[in-house]
Amino acid sequence: MKRFFLKSYYSNYRPHYIPNIKLALPVVFSQGGQMVVGLADTVMVGRLGATELAAVSFANGIFILGLVLSIGVAYGLTPLVGKAFGAGNRELSAQWLKQGLVANVLFAVGLMFLMFLVGLLTKYMGQAEEVVSLARPYYYILVLSVFPYVIFLVFKQFAEGITNTRIAMVITLVANVLNIVLNYIFIFGKLGFPSWGLDGAGYATLVSRIVMGVLFVAAFVYLPFFNKYKRDCIGTRIQWTKVLEVIKVGFPIGGQMVIEVFAFSMGTLMMGWIDKDSLAAHQIVLSLASLTYMMSVGLSSAATIKVSNYFGANDFHNLKYSAYAIIHKVIIFMAFNGVMFVLLRNELPRLFINDVNVVSIAAQLMVVAGVFQLFDGLQVTWLGILRGLQDVNAPSVIAFVTWILIALPISYLCAFVFEMNAVGIWIGYLIGLFVASFLLQIRYRKLYQKFNKYEC
């Protein structure tokens, strides 16, 4: 009887495991590849010294807030395109691309202006003067990279909505290799270039993101795969109601992402209040945790695609089992990563810097990061599933409660009141991720029952 139950249970998920992996792997590679570039930045800048590493952490902690908001607005395109594609409406899918381009370009221009203004406030954020002086020009270079990156994202999210994840993977990997090579040339002054130090890492990012945008536009124009969409995209008029719909779906996604990143950015600021060694250690462990997180984002993106397709086709049976098949993979992947973080807590930080004190602090943070790996993967995957159902407002509320009302206050209390210092800040992260993953699962179950009244 038990064997029959297990066989029946597995048979419901088996048709989804392989297709989901095929869909997710290119996204996993592209997301993981981007984080490898981030790791390469950290490793190379770490060779310049702890102050430069702290400056990277500080600048990225501010920049990432604007970047993820623009990413979130672009993410809003995928469920709209995916639902139309799942319903067999190719013309509507192509129309969403044009409206998405208009929405995202306008949003990016306004956002970049605000980000430049924020750069003027960096000297008032409680950081060491030498850190701010290095971080500010690097930050401004990164802001310039937002526009070409948004162009890339719009075409990427459209392609993913019509179930093609390979093109973005190829372009991302090419740009990543270019970024690493340019990092080496610009940071250290190779091949006749001057040694730009930290700014060199910024210029490498800018050039690689320009290449990403140009390559995806070229792919859309010249690849036969897109021929059946080009005419409908070019021929459709700008429809401001649909432009607003893209922003309406995407902005809450960006808002939810900003809330989470804001919590980590505030943690970065709090690390700077402790000392620059804690800030440098934080950057190292955050880079490692971001690598595994972004690979989970690949699985989350696959969840958004499959769920939106099944949602458009009104196929709630396959929607459920496809979603949970991805959850199973995330649990296995992130549990493995958590074990590796704990076992290699003393070795991995040494890949970035040789400073004994920084490595010691980073090793302590690695243990906490190892524990929250599972919850980090679960919460981002539930978010992807809910986006596929075009549920974007409730997750934003959950993010606000878990990060602003729970995680950040706990981080501050543990770090400064209970004098746990750097580890205390990361304990707040751990509790926030646990609560978020729990509440998002509850939200999905309620929403599924609302849409599908015949199956719980």
Q: What is the pLDDT of residues 411-456, one digit of tens each?
A: 999 999 998 989 999 999 999 999 999 999 999 999 988 887 644 4
Q: How much of the chain, in percent, has pLDDT values that exceed 90? A: 44
Least confident of 25-29, 183-187, 358-362, 411-415: 25-29
User: Residue 58 is which amino acid?
Assistant: F
Q: What is the pLDDT of residue 236?
A: 86
Angle, CA of 103, 71 and 384, to the nearest 5°: 110
Q: What is the pLDDT of residue 141?
A: 94
Q: What is the DSSP secondary-structure string of 362-390? A: HHHHHHHHHHHHHHHHHHHHHHHHHHHTT
Give exposure, 160-188, as e/b (b: 16+ Cβ within 10 Å).
bbbbbbbbbbebbbebbebbbebbbbbbe
CA–CA gap between residue 319 and residue 308 (Å, rounded): 8
**391 closest CA partner among 68, 83, 111:** 83
Per-residue confidence band for 31, with pLDDT thresholds at 50, 70 and 90: low
- Cβ atoms of 324 and 13 closer than 8 Å: yes
Average pLDDT across the chain, whole number: 87
Q: What is the pLDDT of residue 1?
A: 47
- Cβ atoms of 386 and 249 closer than 8 Å: no
Q: What is the pLDDT of residues 41-74, one digit of tens each?
A: 777 777 787 788 888 878 887 888 888 899 889 9
The number of residues making up the chain comes to 456
CA–CA gap between residue 281 and residue 14 (Å, rounded): 42
Using alpha carbons, list the distances in angstroms from residue 443 to 284, 341, 387, 440: 34, 30, 12, 5
Question: CB neighbours of 368 closer than 8 A, spacing ≥ 6?
Answer: 423, 426, 427, 429, 430
User: Residue 434 is which amino acid?
Assistant: F
Range 359-363 average pLDDT: 93
> Which of 3-17, 24-38, 157-171 is most confident?
157-171
Does 89 have pLDDT greater than 60?
Answer: yes
pTM of the model: 0.79
- Cβ atoms of 143 and 63 closer than 8 Å: yes
- Cβ atoms of 322 and 306 closer than 8 Å: yes
Instruction: Count CB atoms within 10 A of the CB of residue 84.
Output: 22
Q: What is the pLDDT of residue 2?
A: 47
Encoded tokens for 380: 């981002």
Residue ranges of domains in the chain: 16-451
Q: Is 354 helix (H, G, I), strand (E, B) or coil?
A: coil
Per-residue confidence band for 234, with pLDDT thresholds at 50, 70 and 90: confident
Q: What is the pLDDT of residue 35?
A: 64
Q: What is the pLDDT of residue 39?
A: 64
Range 325-347 average pLDDT: 93
Q: What is the DSSP secondary-structure string of 196-244? A: -THHHHHHHHHHHHHHHHHHHHHHHHH-GGGHHHHHHHHHSPP-HHHHH
Question: CB neighbours of 58 closer than 8 A, spacing ≥ 6?
Answer: 122, 125, 127, 131, 132, 135, 268, 269, 272, 279
